[in-house]
């Protein structure tokens, strides 16, 4: 892969991450001063002593919806990138000469291994989230 192509892919990945962080509400800071931060920390530490605290239960619905949203965004981005790279490699394979086809076959092997790793990771993520939700 040429350096410009690698740079474009890196920029796209960084853009997706920044979009996810900023616009999908993954990371939120609500403290306005050091006193608020210290008070929040003290409240959190005291929460372990009382059963009726707001920190004792997790909102599993919000956790699952957030996980599903992140999963769907990354799966869509991974699928689009895999399809685009597959099309590029396929077109190069069709129009290339015999000696260049060997190099493209090596790239196709790496492409298929990458697809197995990416979609295998998404499958493992989904299975673990589903198992975790049952318990």
What does the DSSP assignment read for the chain?
--HHHHHHHHHHHHHHHHHHHHHS-SS-----SHHHHHHHHHHHHHHTT-TTSTTSS--HHHHHHHHHHHHHHHHHHHHHHHHHHHHHHHHHHHHS-HHHHHHHHHHHHHHHHHHHHHHHHHHHHHHHHHHHHH-
pLDDT digits (tens, 9 = 90+) for 92-124: 888 988 888 888 888 889 999 999 998 898 889
pTM score, whole prediction: 0.52
Instruction: Give the integer Cα–Cα distance in Å for 70 and 77.
Output: 11
pLDDT at 116: 92
Q: Contacts by 15-19 with C-beta closer than 8 Å and gap 24+?
A: 16/73, 16/74, 16/77
Contact between residue 54 and residue 102 where contact means Cβ atoms under 8 Å apart: no
pLDDT at 49: 66
pLDDT at 87: 92
Residue ranges, the chain, pLDDT below 50:
31
Give the C-alpha distances (Å, rounded to integers) separating 39 from 13, 53, 109. 37, 15, 55
pLDDT at 32: 64
């Amino acid at each position: 892969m040429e350096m410009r192509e690698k740079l474009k892919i890196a920029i796209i990945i960084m853009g997706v991450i920044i979009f996810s962080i900023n616009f999908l509400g993954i990371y939120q800071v609500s403290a306005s001063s050091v006193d608020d931060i210290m008070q929040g920390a003290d409240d959190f530490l005291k929460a372990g002593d009382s059963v009726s605290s707001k920190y004792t239960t997790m909102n599993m619905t919000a956790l699952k919806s957030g996980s599903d949203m992140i999963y769907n965004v990354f799966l869509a981005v991974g699928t689009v990138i895999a399809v685009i790279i597959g099309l590029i490699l396929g077109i190069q394979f069709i129009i290339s000469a015999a000696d260049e086809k060997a190099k493209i076959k090596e790239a196709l092997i790496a492409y298929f291994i990458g697809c197995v790793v990416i979609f295998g990771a998404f499958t493992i993520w989904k299975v673990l989230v589903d198992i975790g939700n049952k318990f």
